[in-house]
Amino acid sequence: MVKVNVVKQGGVDTITPNDGNVGIDIKPTVGIKITQSNLQDYVFELTARESLNGDLLIYDHKDIDIVLMQEKKKIVAFAKDMLTDNVYGAESRLFEYLRKHGIVAYDSIQGGNIYGSMEAQILESKKYDSVKSALVQIAEWFKEEKPMIEFMESHDEDMESALLDPDEEHATELGEVPHEEEKGSILQKNMFAPYLYGRYTY
């Protein structure tokens, strides 16, 4: 039996699943007695919002947004800003991870009805809460993606810094490089320029 407590704080869902068999006796005069205490809490955070129809919108990834449809028992991934090879790679890794962990049906992974999206059906379970189990595994997938996301963000920052604030070795002062009268391979001052047919240049 899996029990998951969801606490919403400032738009962030904190999920605490307890795996195993827990027997709880509730007595108004005594309180709560836990008959099995060999379990550990598992807590994680996701930047998520809940839509009007109850879908969970997860925005933690750099390239894709993930929608967990609670009523339809479906997971859909969309491109965050623009469709690139990185987007397809992230979507493919997400659903491959969920498939291997028994969350989505293998034969349901397909392109969505929105261009560049990918979706899959969450498997039904008589033993566990399917939606909460899917949410836990999505959080685990984010842990695997985090080092790569941090590396890509660091690379982008380094490239921007190299262009906007280069070091002394890769920068010159204004006027240090003298202006040349002619540059490049295309001649601008010929009696008859071959690339300007029928025109004379002086």
Question: Mean per-residue pLDDT for 47-69?
Answer: 87
Shortest CA distance to 95 belongs to which of 132, 64, 49, 53?
64
Q: Which residues lie closer than 8 Å to 6 by C-beta, 6 or more apart?
A: 13, 14, 15, 132
Of the pLDDT bands very low, low, confident and very high (cuts 50, 70, 90), residue 47 is confident
Report the residue count for the chain.
202
Strands 110-111 and 118-121, by their bridges, are antiparallel
* Residue 175 predicted with pLDDT over 90: no
Q: Which residues lie closer than 8 Å to 67 by C-beta, 6 or more apart?
A: 55, 56, 57, 58, 75, 76, 77, 78
| 146-161 tens-digit pLDDT | 888 788 788 888 888 8
Looking at 57-66, 96-105, 177-186, which range is the least confident one? 177-186
| 105-158 tens-digit pLDDT | 989 999 988 888 999 999 998 888 888 888 889 988 988 888 887 887 888 888
Shortest CA distance to 108 belongs to which of 62, 72, 57?
72
Give yes or no for a contact between 145 and 77, defined as CB atoms under 8 angstroms apart.
no
